[in-house]
């Protein structure tokens, strides 16, 4: 069996919406292909080549999203008592060397968006934080070197 993909309920909904959007694009591309075919000679028909390429990209992306949706495992920490940093929780940390505080929500790989404060469960910082509690200090090996963080707060 294929490996399950952990994600939040929000990430699952985003996948569903992405699939719906791509499916709505199918008829538009089909019309473009039909129109391009009507121009005859495929050998020198750049409109046809372009439409065909758009169709292939759409179908590849659609298969990828449908596969992720089929293998998804929604993890919702909302109903559980929060013991420490885990998938789906929000954590506020302080970089010991800079004093900078940031908040992150630990999410699945496909949901990560650093500008929205969402980091992947597989990221070095998330891996270092998971299992630790408020008040603890953790070390994370990030691409720029070793970083030390204090966990200021863990919440759902």
> What pTM did the predictor assign?
0.75
pLDDT per residue over 26-65, tens digit each? Answer: 999 999 888 888 877 666 778 888 888 999 999 999 999 9
Task: Give the pLDDT score at 78.
Answer: 67
Q: Which long-range contacts (CB under 8 A, 24 or more apart) does 41-44 make?
A: none
Tell me if 93 sits within 8 A of 102, measured CB to CB: yes
Label residue 15 by pLDDT band (50, 70, 90): very high
Give the chain's domains with CATH numbers: 5-74 (1.10.287.180), 77-155 (3.10.50.30)
pLDDT per residue over 73-114, tens digit each? Answer: 998 866 667 788 999 999 999 999 999 999 999 999 889 999
């Amino acid at each position: 069996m294929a490996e399950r993909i952990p994600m939040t309920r929000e990430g699952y909904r985003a996948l569903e919406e992405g699939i719906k959007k791509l499916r709505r694009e199918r008829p538009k591309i089909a019309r473009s292909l039909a129109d391009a075919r009507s121009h005859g000679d495929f050998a020198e028909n750049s409109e046809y080549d372009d439409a065909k390429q758009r169709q292939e990209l759409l179908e590849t992306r659609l298969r990828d999203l449908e596969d992720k949706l089929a293998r998804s495992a929604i993890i919702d920490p909302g109903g559980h008592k929060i013991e420490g940093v885990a998938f789906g929780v929000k954590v506020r940390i302080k970089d010991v060397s800079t004093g900078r505080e940031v908040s992150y929500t630990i999410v699945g790989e496909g949901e990560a968006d650093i500008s929205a404060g969402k980091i992947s469960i597989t990221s070095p910082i998330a891996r270092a934080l998971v299992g630790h509690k408020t008040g603890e200090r953790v070390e994370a090996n990030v691409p720029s070197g070793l970083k030390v963080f204090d966990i200021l707060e863990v919440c759902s």
